[in-house]
A and B are shown apart, each in its own frame.
Chain A
Amino acid sequence: MSEIVKITKVSGSAVPIRGNDIDTDRIIPARYLKEVTFARMGDYPFFDERYDGSGKKKDHPFNDPEYKGAAVLFVNKNFGCGSSREHAPQSLFRFGIKVIVGESFAAIFAGNCTMMGLPAVTVGAKEIEELIKSVEENPGTEYSVDLESMTLSYGNRKIAIALPETYRIALTMGSWDSTALLRANLEQVKKTAAKLPYMSGFSS
């Protein structure tokens, strides 16, 4: 809705979160959904896995100084399952994550990411293991995700990435914030609505 921001290339160091089926309750506990804005969400990703009951830091990649400043998040399968809370990708984004690379993503989560301008791209199981190992062995490695060539590069490696084509177009043409696109057709929306019998209470 605001200015058009085309997202074609995202680069930076990476942080890995291992495990399949990591749900959005784990990414952000529900108590933080009581806040009226997303402003402070960056303080909360994986909160209960990063801090114990007394607020003491636990062992977690998001607490690890070696991964500090990471813009790329590596995850496994069905990441972001469960609740539709956009607070989950908001918390990752505001923490500093600018692209997520995983084996697969839950449907609502992937849609939420795209609409915020946070690409959630997929690679194969073998490739994600390679990537996670590469960053575990060499934290600080620079990774670059290119949505035009649809590749992820690091060192002299280049890996093919995937993203639904509609999401790729939305991100690269800068229309991931879809309200303007949708509003352009308001007259047509009214025409479609008028043809639906329930819109007039089945009056005819």
Chain B
Amino acid sequence: MAGRTLYDKIWESHSVGILPTGQTQLFIGLHLIHEITTAPAFDMLRENGLDVAFRDRTFATVDHIVPTDLRQRPFLDKEAEDLTQALERNVEQFGVEFFGLDSMNQGIVHVIGPQLGLTQPGMTLACGDSHTSTHGAFGTLAFGIGTSQVRDVLATQTLAMDKLKVRRINIDGALGIGVYAKDVILNIIRRLGVSGGKGFAYEYGGAVIDRMNMEERMTVCNMSIEGGALVGYVNPDQTTFDYLKGRPHVPSGAAFDRAVNYWKSVASDGDAKFDDVVSYQGKDIEPTVTWGINPGQSVGISERMPKPEEFSDPEGAKKAYEHMGWQPGAPMLGTPINVAFIGSCTNGRLADLRAAAKIAKGRKVNSAVRALVVPGSAQVKKLAEQEGLHEIFTEAGFQWREAGCSMCLAMNPDKLNGREISASSSNRNFIGRQGSPQGRTLLMSPAMVAAAALNGKVVDVREYE
């Protein structure tokens, strides 16, 4: 019998049974909730007289709409205040543990799960946010879900799901200097397309992934959904176990050893059979920047912007050029920027801030650029400050903010204005994503964002490394 993948193993151990629809009822080991996608779900529970089935496996925080400058309550934005109050009432009424604004554990839901050791290998996890795939870095099957599904998980701790196929993606060899996890995933999406992962879970592996630390693996898994894959994961290994050891929700002593044995057992077998396998070479990946309106529309920094005819969907490329206002064939290098944003669940962790600070240290942000650093969690902020990263950033002219999702999706006051161009370490360059319907977003690694902030234009970060 052929070996099994991590996906197969976790799927089987979490299957409750087959539903009359033919779907599998899958147990969800951890449910993370936040303010945006939950209020109607709690309303539905109340309307039907239902309770939270496994409240011990449910944790809440507030991240999407929180202001990152003035956080005193009530918020200036009444809608943000009302939605936050709705979550506060719901967690109170249903007895769910809540990391609110005054908690040292507050932060972006995909940053705090791993940080607290809540996210563990061999677990299923769900959250009403498409970037839930982030947690796959731990060898967790993590699903981004909608509000009706949030209701189902609250009411039953299960989801009705169809099994996916598994595509193994190898990144072999090594990355060059100045090339980061963000560049790896942007390249994967560029090659396989924004819908290429439909119907698949992505298993990332190969020497480059093996050598990555957990924060880098989270960046890769985070953007699986941008490639159309609902789930992305990395097999747990010693790097994973070392990261988890000693974290608040991770067992200690003999129980930790038992946990490691279980975690090792869920990794894909050496002879596991995949539905598809693709391999890329790390050395072929350059610092990468998006030029268009979806995360698949990117080029290496030394390349020119492609011609619409090079795409299977030339109309889509033309629409992107129409919005962005560039010409096909123009160099990416030297594209002007107005705003620099370092943060988000993709690149708002300590390693990301360190990489950006290394570039910013002793230098000055271009006077025409508005530059923000938004730590992914209160804990990341604290650790960064202990290292003095906040001083490096503020001396260079970056604003140093409180934790939240911020300008990744601009549900708080951090927004682009008019036609501004943002160099952003976030995950989506969709039209209007950063708060202005005419705004423009260039996705890149945090180090590339820092370098762009200093120069007021897109530059090659390798000149600084």
Contacts and interface: CB of A to CB of B under 8 A. Distances in A.
A185 B17 CA distance: 9
A86 interface: yes
Q: Which 10 A-B pairs have the closest CB atoms?
A: A112-B146, A86-B146, A78-B195, A115-B148, A48-B437, A34-B79, A86-B147, A84-B130, A182-B156, A202-B255
B37 A193 contact: no
A198 B263 CA distance: 10
Contact of A166 (B23, B86, B409): B23
Given A106-B198, A202-B256, 8 more contacts: A21-B195, A82-B428, A86-B37, A170-B160, A178-B148, A178-B152, A196-B29, A197-B262
Interface in B125-148: 128-130, 144-148
A155 interface: no
Nearest to A81: B194
Contact of B255 (A38, A83, A112, A201): A201
Interface of A: 1-2, 19-21, 23, 25-26, 29-31, 33-38, 48, 53, 77-78, 81-87, 89, 104, 106-108, 111-112, 115-116, 164-167, 169-170, 173, 175, 177-179, 181-183, 185-186, 188-189, 192-193, 195-199, 201-204
16 contacts: A2-B48, A36-B39, A78-B198, A86-B148, A115-B148, A175-B20, A179-B151, A181-B160, A182-B25, A185-B16, A193-B54, A197-B259, A198-B259, A198-B262, A199-B57, A202-B251
A23 B130 CA distance: 12
A89 B259 CA distance: 41
Contact of A196 (B27, B77, B316, B410): B27
A199 B29 CA distance: 8
B392 to A, nearest CB: 31
Interface of B: 13-17, 19-23, 25, 27, 29, 36-37, 39-40, 43-44, 48, 50, 53-54, 57, 64-65, 77, 79-80, 82-83, 86, 120, 122-123, 128-130, 144-149, 151-152, 155-160, 162, 194-195, 198-199, 225-226, 228, 230, 251, 255-256, 258-259, 262, 294, 313, 315-316, 319, 409-411, 428, 430-433, 435, 437
Given A165-B22, A202-B256, A34 B39 contact: no
A23 B430 contact: yes
Contacts of A30: 409-411, 433, 435
A12 B353 CA distance: 53
Given A36-B86, A182-B158, A202-B258, A21 B294 contact: yes
A108 B144 contact: yes
B427 to A, nearest CB: 9
A177 B146 CA distance: 13
A116 B41 CA distance: 13
Contact of B316 (A19, A37, A116, A178): A19
A27 B80 CA distance: 21
A166 B146 contact: no
Contact of A108 (B23, B65, B225): B225
Nearest to B147: A86
B128 A23 contact: no
Counting chain A CB atoms within 10 Å of each CB, the highest count among B19, B57, B120 belongs to B19
Given A25-B431, A175-B21, A189-B158, A84 B129 contact: yes
Given A86-B148, A165-B22, A183 B27 contact: no
